[in-house]
Chains A and B, each alone.
Chain A
Amino acid sequence: MTPIEIAEKLCTLCQVCVKKCPSDALSMQDGKIVVNEKCTACGICVRTCPEKAMSLRNLPKKAIAKDLKDYKGVWVFIEHSDCKIASVSFELLGEGRKLADKLGVELSAVLLGDATERMAAESASYGADTVLVMNDPLLKNYRTQPYLAGIVQLVQKYKPEIFLFGATTMGRDLAGAVATKLRTGLTADCTALDIEEQTKFLKQTRPAFGGNIMATILTKNHRPQMATVRPRVMKAPLKDAGKKAAIINETIVVSAELLPTMIVDFILQAEQNAPLEDAQIIVSGGKGMGSAKNFDMLHAFASAIGGTVAGSRKASEAGWISAAMQVGQTGHTVRPRIYFACGISGAIQHVVGMQTSDIIIAINKDPHAPIFSVANYGIVGDVLNIIPQMTKIFNEGSGNNESH
Chain B
Amino acid sequence: MALLLHIDIVSTAIDSQYCSEKVTIVHIVVCLKQVPDTTEVKIDRKTNTLIREGVPSIANPFDLNAVEAALVLKEKYGATVTVISMGPPQAKEALRRAIAMGADQAILLSDRSFAGADTLATSYTLAQAILKLRDAGGVDLVLCGKQAIDGDTAQVGPGIATRLNLTQLTYVSKIESVDADGKHITVERKLENGVEIVRGNLPALLTVVKEIYKPRYASLPCLIESLAYEPVVWNAKQISADSSQIGLEGSPTWVETIFSPPLREGGVILNPGDENYDKEFSGLIDTVKKIVAEERSKLVCS
B253 cross-chain contacts in A, Cβ below 8 A: 185-187, 217-219
If the complex has contacts A208-B151, A372-B266, are A219 and B284 also in contact, measured as CB distance less than 8 A?
Answer: no
Task: Indicate if the CB atoms of B261 and A348 lie closer than 8 Å.
Answer: yes
Cα–Cα, bound, A155→B203 (Å): 28
Contact of B193 among A173, A275, A367, A377 (CB under 8 A): A275
Task: Indicate if the CB atoms of B158 and A210 lie closer than 8 Å.
Answer: no
**Segment at the A interface, from B7-15, B23-31, B66-74, B118-126:** B118-126
B269 contacts partner chain A, Cβ-Cβ < 8 Å: yes
Task: Indicate if the CB atoms of A215 and B257 lie closer than 8 Å.
Answer: yes
Cα–Cα, bound, A306→B267 (Å): 24
Instruction: For chain B, residues 23 to 64, give those with C-beta under 8 angstroms from any C-beta of chain A.
Output: 36, 38-39, 41-43, 49-50, 52-53, 57
Task: Indicate if the CB atoms of B194 and A355 lie closer than 8 Å.
Answer: no
Instruction: For chain A, residues 141 to 199, give those with C-beta under 8 angstroms from any C-beta of chain B.
Output: 143-145, 148, 168-170, 172-173, 175-177, 179-181, 183-189
Kindly count the residue-residue contacts between A and B in the assembled complex, taking CB atoms under 8 Å apart. 315
- A3, A177, A360, A372, most chain B CB atoms within 10 A: A177
A117 contacts partner chain B, Cβ-Cβ < 8 Å: no
Task: Indicate if the CB atoms of A180 and B292 lie closer than 8 Å.
Answer: no
Instruction: For chain B, residues 146 to 195, give those with C-beta under 8 angstroms from any C-beta of chain A.
Output: 149-159, 161-163, 167-171, 186, 189-195
**Segment at the B interface, from A16-24, A100-108, A289-297:** A16-24
Smallest CB separation, A91 vs chain B (Å):
15
B198 contacts partner chain A, Cβ-Cβ < 8 Å: yes
A373 contacts partner chain B, Cβ-Cβ < 8 Å: yes
Contact of B266 among A176, A184, A213, A374 (CB under 8 A): A374
B43 cross-chain contacts in A, Cβ below 8 A: 212-213, 348
Smallest CB separation, B140 vs chain A (Å):
14
A268 contacts partner chain B, Cβ-Cβ < 8 Å: yes
Contact of A210 among B52, B152, B204, B257 (CB under 8 A): B152
B39 cross-chain contacts in A, Cβ below 8 A: 210, 349
Instruction: For chain B, residues 102 to 120, give those with C-beta under 8 angstroms from any C-beta of chain A.
Output: 110-120
Smallest CB separation, B167 vs chain A (Å):
4
Cα–Cα, bound, A61→B204 (Å): 37
Nearest residue in B to A264 (C-beta to C-beta)? Answer: B197
Task: Indicate if the CB atoms of A169 and B191 lie closer than 8 Å.
Answer: yes
Instruction: For chain A, residues 62 to 80, give those with C-beta under 8 angstroms from any C-beta of chain B.
Output: 62
Cα–Cα, bound, A168→B170 (Å): 12
Encode A249-272 as 1/0 by CB contact (under 8 A) with B.
000000000001111111111000
A49 contacts partner chain B, Cβ-Cβ < 8 Å: no
Cα–Cα, bound, A124→B269 (Å): 46
Nearest residue in B to A57 (C-beta to C-beta)? Answer: B248
Task: Indicate if the CB atoms of B255 and A262 lie closer than 8 Å.
Answer: no
Cα–Cα, bound, A403→B162 (Å): 58
Encode B256-269 as 1/0 by CB contact (under 8 A) with A.
11111101111111
B278 contacts partner chain A, Cβ-Cβ < 8 Å: no
Smallest CB separation, A119 vs chain B (Å):
18
Closest 9 CB pairs of A and B: A176-B158, A210-B38, A185-B252, A36-B88, A188-B153, A222-B252, A185-B253, A376-B267, A374-B264
Q: List 27 A-B contacts (CB under 8 A).
A: A1-B112, A37-B115, A62-B249, A170-B191, A172-B170, A176-B119, A176-B159, A176-B162, A177-B158, A183-B120, A184-B252, A209-B41, A218-B253, A262-B198, A264-B198, A266-B194, A267-B194, A269-B194, A269-B195, A306-B296, A338-B288, A338-B291, A348-B43, A377-B284, A378-B268, A393-B285, A399-B296
Supplied contacts A37-B117, A399-B293, 15 more A-B pairs, CB within 8 Å: A1-B112, A21-B52, A22-B50, A24-B57, A36-B90, A37-B112, A144-B170, A176-B154, A177-B161, A189-B152, A217-B256, A260-B167, A264-B197, A266-B195, A267-B196
